[in-house]
Amino acid sequence: MIPSVQPSNLRDRSSQHVVLKDVSWQTYQALLHDLGQHRSSRLTYDQGVLEIVMPSELHEIINRLLALIVTALTDELGMKIKGYGSTTLDREDLSRGVEPDSCFYIQNVDRVLGRRLNIAVDPPPDLAIEVDISSSSQRRFGIYRQLQVPEVWRYTEQRGVVIYQFQDDEYVECEFSPTFPMISGAVLMPFLERAETEDDNTVIRALRQWLRENQ
């Protein structure tokens, strides 16, 4: 089994999780507006069901390090990237909306540069990250499937990082990343484990060195 990251001083600081039913699209949109963009909560809307998650410290440590890893990989490989963080991806025609822990345009970056993102007409992000500490991303995966997000990295304490690819209207677990063919969950986990005792820059330098030695 792939080991998980469990810094002892953070393990008990769990995410807060609330689910509300029979919420209208208009109420969901009004809530997004009232809460604003500069907030820590993540909102998921799925045909009347509203899920609100307040991420824990451990959740954010893993999420941010994975985001740094994705950025470093594209830099080392000479690839373009545009990170959109936890930007709201919502479509009224589907009556669904989701805020990834992190998301990125890589293959389709040129299609969104220089414009305000509109997920109703623009392609979905090429890669999304989901970190499951005390709440499941199952509902969000259903929305990713509707949006047809090509690749999702999911971290759980039980399995570590698992990579999924969208194929034939479903998500299929795959050993290696479609975007970064040398990267697997097993490759990523030792770098996440180092976050327990090392700062982010040290971890990223180690990742870059590994990549240069293993391309």
Is residue 120 one of the residues assigned to a domain? yes
Question: Residue 51 has what pLDDT?
Answer: 94
What's the pLDDT at 17?
Answer: 83
The predicted structure's pLDDT at residue 12: 38
- Predicted pLDDT at 15: 60
207 in a structural domain: yes
Q: Is residue 14 one of the residues assigned to a domain?
A: no
The answer to whether residue 43 sits within a structural domain is no
Which residue range forms the structural domain that includes residue 190?
57-214
Q: What is the mean pLDDT of each run of 10 residues along the chain (215 residues)?
A: 34 68 97 86 95 91 97 98 96 96 97 93 97 83 96 94 96 97 97 93 97 91
Region for 168 from its dihedrals, namely left if φ exceeds 0, alpha if ψ lies in -120 to 50, beta otherwise: left
Q: What pLDDT shows up at residue 2?
A: 30
Distance in angstroms (rounded) separating the CA atoms of residues 11 and 133 = 9
Tell me whether residue 63 is in a domain. yes
Kindly list the distances between the CA atom of residue 165 and the CA atoms of 34, 98, 113, 119, 153, in Å, as whole numbers in the listed order: 34, 18, 24, 20, 9
Cβ(133)–Cβ(104) below 8 Å: no
Task: Flag whether 76 is in a domain.
Answer: yes
- Rounded to 5 degrees, φ, ψ at 154 are -120, 125
Both tokens of residue 1? Answer: 């089994």
DSSP strands (E only) in 88-135: 89-91, 96-98, 102-105, 127-132
Query: Residue 48: inside a domain, yes or no?
Result: no
**What's the pLDDT at 133?**
83
Please state the domain count of the chain: 1
> Is 35 within the bounds of a domain?
no
Q: Check which CATH number belongs to the domain holding 161 and give it.
A: 3.90.1570.10
Torsion, Cα of 194, 198, 203, 209 (10° steps)? -90
Give the model's pLDDT for residue 208.
Answer: 97
CA dihedral 14, 127, 85, 139 (to 10 degrees): -40
